[in-house]
Structure 1
């Protein structure tokens, strides 16, 4: 627990690993709201939540390209599914591209998940996994699976040319697939994944390039572009406001 925020993360089973990054819960046990900053991390999150201010509902948050200040209301309990881009494409279609840097409310009863499912996180993960498996197509484009595997195993440091060469897709074909589907250029997504990979280095005070940045200046420029602050401010993380860094040790 950090500042009355309870956080727990569970990885999906092997069958879902290409489509789901994680299942996680977040709960504000405090009697007051918590002000936090959410940093871009390349995730597409499907939330099921309630709070003292809002009844149970489902919502979808698209990929973010800049930091966002968020208030976590008192009494908030949130169970979430972090989808990988391929999983979001197969399960949600192109609606993800339309919510870049924003979100949307999902229909009541989405995936048959209900308020009572917030009572047990383990059972939620099992029910959500079952719902996802039922909705995945029988076959998945192997080139797309390989694309995201290359991006994530390299922590976003792979070049578009390398992706093109390894996948036998031209740069134009890659971008014609990626931008309309997810709402941002492929290169921008890779930069976000590389930025995310630097979180644990920054938290440890390693304020110099670790993820194939060209040099110190480039590293500082990219961190400030995506976080709004210099690496040293992220490292200090006053009051734990950059919540992803604050929760790193709990993952």
Structure 2
């Protein structure tokens, strides 16, 4: 996927097997504007690794955990950002560390993390292939079938599945699943399901469909959930004034 917005250039590539269970996408955003404008990131259920450089030569690599609330992003005028978006299972199988302390926050890493550098931001295609090579070398451990099926069901159902149904389908107790989510991600399973359901509602909201299409109890429940994860009502999210909601700004039309 490659398209320019008003002042943003965006490319997004989904990886091939065997990384499809771990990596959601590898992407880039180039901000050609010099406006000092804050943005808002809404929860999408991913762990993200970022490489960021601005026109003044500043370069950093940072990582963010699962968000369960809207996050205000500082302005990055005239900047280039390359990123890898991971499914939560990457915490255990790629990073081999808990992200519980990075819920709704980020951590700055060494500027040579995984062998990346500022020079990698010169060519997105080369960065993509380098990232695939690095990730392939890190993902040597076979994914537990039960965990793999858990996330497959969550995404296939767009979050429209209960904890009890998951328990019955994968033969894993709700207590054990919640322990897993709390240990590795710092959120409860029910919260994660709500995040995925909300994230899957973003496209309809962008397109002006302000009524629930997923299994929200009613319109008022839908509005409450949108306000919880986006900080605003569906009507405000749809307007997206000044392109302040980053994911909506990068989302292709219809």
Q: Under TM normalisation by the shorter chain, which class is it?
A: over 0.9
- CA offsets 1:188-247 (integer angstroms, 9 cap, x no match): 011000000000111111111111111111111111111111111111111211121121
Determine the C-alpha separation between the residues in 2 that align with 1:11 and 1:166.
Answer: 28
Identify which of 137, 140, 146 aligns with 1:137. 140
The aligned counterpart of 2:49 is 46
For structure 1, the residue ranges without an aligned partner over 5 or more in a row are none
The aligned counterpart of 2:194 is 191
Q: Which runs of 4+ in 1 moved over 4 A?
A: none
The aligned counterpart of 2:63 is 60
Determine the C-alpha separation between the residues in 2 that align with 1:250 and 1:81.
Answer: 23
Per the TM alignment, residue 54 of structure 1 is displaced from its structure 2 partner at its CA by 6.2
Determine the C-alpha separation between the residues in 2 that align with 1:11 and 1:123.
Answer: 15
8 Å contact kept, 2:98–2:183: no
The correspondence of residues 94-243 of structure 1 with structure 2, limited to 5 A, is: 94-243=97-246
8 Å contact kept, 1:28–1:76: yes
Determine the C-alpha separation between the residues in 2 that align with 1:156 and 1:104.
Answer: 27
Determine the C-alpha separation between the residues in 2 that align with 1:45 and 1:53.
Answer: 24
Query: Quick check: which one's helix share is greater?
Result: 1
8 Å contact kept, 1:48–1:58: yes
8 Å contact kept, 1:8–1:250: no
| TM-score of the superposed pair, with normalisation by structure 1 | 0.95
Per the TM alignment, residue 53 of structure 1 is displaced from its structure 2 partner at its CA by 5.5
8 Å contact kept, 2:43–2:67: yes
1:2 aligns with 2:28: no
* Matched residue count: 251
Determine the C-alpha separation between the residues in 2 that align with 1:111 and 1:149.
Answer: 28
**Structure 1 counterpart SS, 2:134:** helix
Identify which of 38, 44, 47 aligns with 1:35. 38
For structure 2, the residue ranges without an aligned partner over 5 or more in a row are none
The aligned counterpart of 2:89 is 86
Determine the C-alpha separation between the residues in 1 that align with 2:240 and 2:141.
Answer: 44
Determine the C-alpha separation between the residues in 2 that align with 1:15 and 1:227.
Answer: 33
